[in-house]
Amino acid sequence: MAVGKLPDEPDRDETKLVVQDVEVFEPSAEEMDSAKEKVAELDRKTPIVIHLDAGATITGKTICDEFFYSVAGMNAHYGTPSNVRAPGRIPGGSSSGSAAAAASGACDFALGSDTGGSVRIPASLCGLYGIRTTHGRIDTKGVMDMSPSFDTIGWLAATAGVFRKVGPVLLGGTAAKAPVRNLLIADDAFEQADDPVGELLRDALSAMAGRLPKPQPIRIASGGLDRTLDYWRDAVPIIRAYEIWQVYGRFVEEKHPHFGPGVAERMQAAAKISRAEADAARKIHAAAREHIRAQITPGTVVALPSTPCIAPKIDTPAADMDAYRTRVMRLTCVAGLGGLPQVSIPAGTVSGCPVGLSFIGWAGGDEALLDLAVTLSRFCGIERGISHE
């Protein structure tokens, strides 16, 4: 294994990285020359190369949900990565392999993509720090598209310190610097959570009160039938389905790949989404984005559950998994529609299973969220009893 570290990382150990579904560069002596040639051929702005240039070492490649098209983290062809912090339960997806690697200690941090929650959900279910960055903040060149309207790059780490140190290396664009002055509690988002989960997260916020502004309750989706979490959520899969078919439809029609359960049905539905349907959903997207950004201005963060419940069991029936998908997308759609950054921190456990607390920040406020995660990390680790699954 080659040795590498991020800038200012202590010399106690190398900083080890895993990446989601890319070529692995094996650093053995006989393959080193070939690996160097592969790296040299890549665009210097791709997230992987940026980290290699900064001194990180790739230790492996991880699997994800098929075509990134699930929130469960289960892959019919390659299996389900283990959730080491909730055995027998899903890791969450689509960046499930990255989360499993970070949670197990196989790496210091792991890259993943987040379109509809693919970093935030596994971060919550696996007890990790995870971030969805501001849309467009990190160049996605060299990354496979799913839905360009929502696609972002993110990462996961088991410790807050390493989690924050990735930021200066990877974040591009212009940061919108501001101190966190306002804390909004999204009551309509908390209403989506199971009681034990919501109670734990509110207890966590109470414990963190000395490090946070005075909380103000809000309903993040408010103002009539066109501003509800369900109304917003319903627009997202239409846009995503239309765009994923634009990216992969020709491949599917020509190669006839064998899709696993769930993904097969979603691909079939994607093929039928019309341009008119997508355009109508994009109008909802534009209105939601304007509404969300008007509330989350520089200096303001919104607290909400990362996921509504603990990780479902791997053998959960398909109908129940569909219901879980609907519930979790009510929460993840807010930052996605707003194009805003969101961090999930491991607040504690319910019935021994991890639960994540999220903060959505303003556009370009990624660094402030990373700093906030470190500040609040000392308050994580609350434990609660039985969850009403």
pLDDT, tens digit, 9 for 90 and up, residues 276-287: 999 999 999 999
In angstroms, the CA 224 to CA 29 distance is: 64
Angle between helices 229-255 and 275-295 (to 10 degrees): 140
pLDDT band at 1 (very low <50, low <70, confident <90, very high): very low
What residues contact 195, with CB distance under 8 A and at least 6 apart?
388
For 25-38, what is each residue's pLDDT tens digit?
334 444 445 444 54
What residues contact 176, with CB distance under 8 A and at least 6 apart?
298, 362, 363, 364, 365
Question: To 10 degrees, the CA torsion angle through 269, 272, 276, 281?
Answer: 10
Are the C-beta atoms of residues 126 and 83 closer than 8 Å to each other? yes
pLDDT above 70 (res 128): yes
Please state the pTM of the whole predicted model: 0.88
pLDDT above 50 (res 24): no
Predicted local confidence at residue 151, as pLDDT: 96
Residue 352 φ/ψ, nearest 5 degrees: 80, 5
pLDDT above 80 (res 310): yes
Pairing of strands 129-132, 182-186: unpaired
Average pLDDT over residues 54-59: 82
